[in-house]
Every structure is written in C-alpha cells, then in structure tokens.
Amino acid sequence: MDSKKQNNIPRHIAIIMDGNNRWAKKRFLPGIAGHKAGADAVRAVIRGCVDQGVDVLTLFAFSSENWQRPQKEVNALMELFLISLRREVKKLHKYNIRLRIIGDKAGFSPEIQQAIADAEALTQGNSGLQLNVAANYGGRWDIVHTAQLLAQQVADGVLKPEEITETLFNQNISLGDLPPPDLCIRTAGEQRISNYLLWQFAYSEFYYSPLLWPDFKEQALAEAIEDFAGRQRRFGKTSEQVEGKADA
C-alpha cells in the first residue's frame, strides 16, 4: 500500500447509521420509509468507499438493543433485511465485494440465517471491498462471547489462562482478522458509541455528521475522509515522534 493511501485514506471505516426515523418523521412518513431511504445511502457510501480506495466498510445495521423497538418496526426491519440479503448481494457480487455479517446470528429466524449463509458463501471469494454488516450486534456481547470462547478452551485444557493475551483475544473477536477501524462516522448529530465495536475502537478517530443517514451520500463521505486526512494519529507517541523529529 502506498504511503499516500496509508496516511490519508482510512483502510477501515465503521459507520453508525443514525437518523432514519427522524428523516421519515420530518416528511410525515412511516418509519420504514426512512429505513428504505437509508438503504439508498448505504449503496451510495459503498460506491464512495470503492471510489476512494477504502479496504473495509463496517455498517451498524441493527443492534442487540433494537429488539426493544415497537414490534411493527422490528418486523418491517427484518423483512427489509431479508429482501436486501437476497437482492443486494447479487449486486455486491457483481462488483467483487465480499459480505460478512457479524453479531449473534442465532437471534434471527431460520429463514434470515439461511439468507445470511447464502450471501456470505456467494461473495466469499471476492477480493474487492470487504463489507461487514453488524446485525443483532452489541460491543459488550462481542467481548463476552470472545471471553466465553477462550474460557471454554481453558476448560478443555487446550489453553492456559496466562496464555490469554490481547493478541489472542483480538484474533477471536469479530473482525479480528481485519485492520481495526481507522475512522468511525456517526450521522444525525449524535455523539456516542451506542455499544458498537467497543474493543475494536481503541484507537479509532471519530467524525460526527449533522446529516440524517438517508442524506449522507458520496460527498458527505468524502468530507469525512478529508477531515480524517488532516488529523495526526499518535497511538501513544508524541507529535515529534510521529513526525520523525525525535527518537522513538
């Protein structure tokens, strides 16, 4: 990877897509209309990431807490998720995009679980943008689930407690095989993580957009990337060390 891309273009962008319901309410439309409009924004941002040379895009589609929403909205979201898995994956495959769903997939209906498996299998060999969709996902669930996996290995006698390191933990958590998120974008003016990728965000940069998610398109993504490019990422070092003006 060239130094220009490494310094100015985030390899991995994670997005909290917020504001679909507010977008719909402003137009006196039902909430599901906002989610459908949000799907258009997803397509636009995927195109933008491909054009900008981003390697990985991770979208927060449905949190483990979203089950608490009105049942009518949850049912509509599940229907939209299923339709998207069946229709959109063909377009993703056409453009060499690889799809992965992260989260507790056991919480979905057998029909959705099968659609997820089919979509992932279809795009598994693709080498372009890695698109991850977090569905029935929570950052605390992710950490606890990883701890349980490692604890089971200890119980089975194949792992010693002292062998559990940050590196090993990271290898077993969601997206551990990918570069960590360089940039997290949240739309709709909210400024919180909302239980998203808690482990993975250790050194991520954050960008908050006032735009509601359905209005966040290629230009807005380019502005977020431009803002990211102007930041200095130190990872615990001093500015002088990063700039090569002082010994490490």
- Beta-sheet pairing, 205-208 with 130-137: unpaired
Q: Which of 2, 11, 3 is nearest to 203 (CA)?
A: 11
- Which residue in 2, 7, 8, 18 is the catalytic one? 18
What are the residue ranges spanned by the domains of the chain?
10-138+182-229
| Integer CA distances (angstroms), 144 to 121, 139, 167, in order | 27, 9, 16
Q: Does domain 10-138+182-229 have CATH number 3.40.50.1000?
A: no
Backbone angles phi, psi at 126, to 5 degrees: -75, 150
Would you state the pLDDT for residue 241?
61
One digit per residue, pLDDT tens: the chain, 248 residues?
Answer: 444 455 589 999 999 999 999 999 999 998 889 999 999 999 999 999 999 999 999 999 989 888 988 898 899 899 999 999 999 999 999 999 999 999 999 999 999 999 999 999 999 999 999 999 999 999 999 999 999 999 999 999 999 999 999 999 999 999 999 999 999 999 999 999 999 999 999 999 999 999 999 999 999 999 999 999 998 666 666 666 666 665 54
User: Which amino acid is located at 202 in the chain?
Assistant: A
* Known catalytic membership, residue 21: no
The active-site residue out of 8, 66, 170, 172 is 66
40 is catalytic: no
- Which residues are bridge partners to 60 per DSSP? 16, 134
Task: Give pTM, 2 decimals.
Answer: 0.90
The pLDDT of residue 233 is 67
